[in-house]
Chains A and B, each alone.
Chain A
Amino acid sequence: MSVSASDGEDDQRILTIKEKIRVVLDFPKPGIMFQDITTLLLDPVAFKNTIDLFVERYKDRNIAVVAGPVFLCISLLISNSVSARIEARGFIFGPPIALAIGAKFVPLRKPKKLPGEVISEEYVLEYGSDCLEMQVGAVEQRERALVVDDLVATGGTLCAAVNLLERAGAEVVVCACVIEVPDLKGHERLKGKPLHILVEAH
């Protein structure tokens, strides 16, 4: 199940975050309401609040690895009739969190973007499949890991990320996203891993 930050002090910061997320209609396809986080990044206070909320939660949990899916296409099903590919931006939130909590940052990317030896995880989309890769040797056995992404929808990306980390022997402690699309129940695809989100999609 997904857990939202609900502490009173946090509420104010969450409000600043939610109002900074811009909804762009009909992007990348008609019928899609795209949750645009770039407007959040334009506000240094709101961006810092976002990072702080995650850091405060994870800094004392002995996390050695922060993994972020990068520019991955996920399929978003709206009203059972329209699907679209949306890209994820775990790259932007992952590194600041990693730096603040003393963890390494591991990018998870589309095929052929990472140099050197990689392991791959394929996962199913509405039409066809996609693939996420991680470099061999990036994580070590029993390292505790946090997966960060900007948005969770169907949970396919996060599930693939969890699988990659576990295959490399890491222990995925929690998944964290700025935005959740609640109707898509992405948290059910995380193999029981806790999902922490800040706001729900507009």
Chain B
Amino acid sequence: MQTYTHKNTYLQQQEKMFAAENGLKGDPRLQAISESIRVIPDFPKPGIMFQDITTLMLNHEVFKHTVDIFVERYRDMDISVVAGVEARGFMFGPPIALAIGAKFVPLRKPRKLPGEVISESYVLEYGTDCLEMHVGAVQPGERALIIDDLVATGGTLFAAISLLERAGAEVAECACVIGLPEVKIWLVYLKDTRKMSKLLLDFDYEEPI
């Protein structure tokens, strides 16, 4: 899901690792992936340049490349849980989970998951929102990967990390197809999640619209 502002708010550059810096520079797949993402101006509100990944999924080869790049990175990292953030995280998470033999855990808006859940609130420009996870979905000590389509301020991912850590899991990494504010910087890997959490607390960031 996208809860971001069109203004240039972002985690410090050194906290993000882009695929190009991560040994994938010159990988022809990245170019094709970037070009397949459509930008829609003024959606859902004026001033927002929406990064539309539905066009990525219309191109089977590019969709496969995207999943493959993540799978190549994570299959030997002992990851037993892939947690996907509603809703677009559900499109990339399951294929990655299936390929690396991990379970898939959906992280959802309130009242959508049946049964017992744990909740984590996070701050928006006006008010708050909330992410939920099923109790018992992850076991203490499991290693988790969090997936979303896009990262902007990181607020959603921060809430996702909290949920998984509260359940006793260790978040190995967060992975997103797109990182803002630079348009179409692709395959962002957020490492050192502890540092990222601290950064968000200290950082005077613009709340999402």
Contact = CB atoms under 8 A, between A and B. Distances in A.
Contacts of A99: 60, 63-64, 67, 95
B111 interface: yes
A186 interface: no
Interface residues of B, number: 36
B63 A42 contact: no
B196 interface: no
Contact of A27 (B52, B63, B115): B115
Given A28-B111, A95-B95, A116-B40, A107 B105 contact: no
B60 A102 contact: yes
A170 interface: no
Interface residues on A, range: 35 or more
Contacts of B86: 71
Nearest to B40: A115
Interface of A: 22, 24, 27-28, 34, 36, 38, 41-44, 47-48, 51, 70-71, 87, 89, 91-93, 95-96, 98-99, 102-107, 112-116, 135, 138
22 contacts: A27-B114, A34-B114, A41-B103, A41-B106, A42-B104, A44-B103, A47-B97, A47-B103, A70-B87, A71-B86, A71-B112, A92-B106, A95-B63, A96-B98, A99-B64, A103-B60, A104-B63, A105-B57, A106-B54, A112-B44, A115-B40, A116-B38
B91 A95 contact: yes
B111 A22 contact: no
A47 B137 CA distance: 15
A95 B115 contact: no
Contacts of A105: 57-58, 63, 91
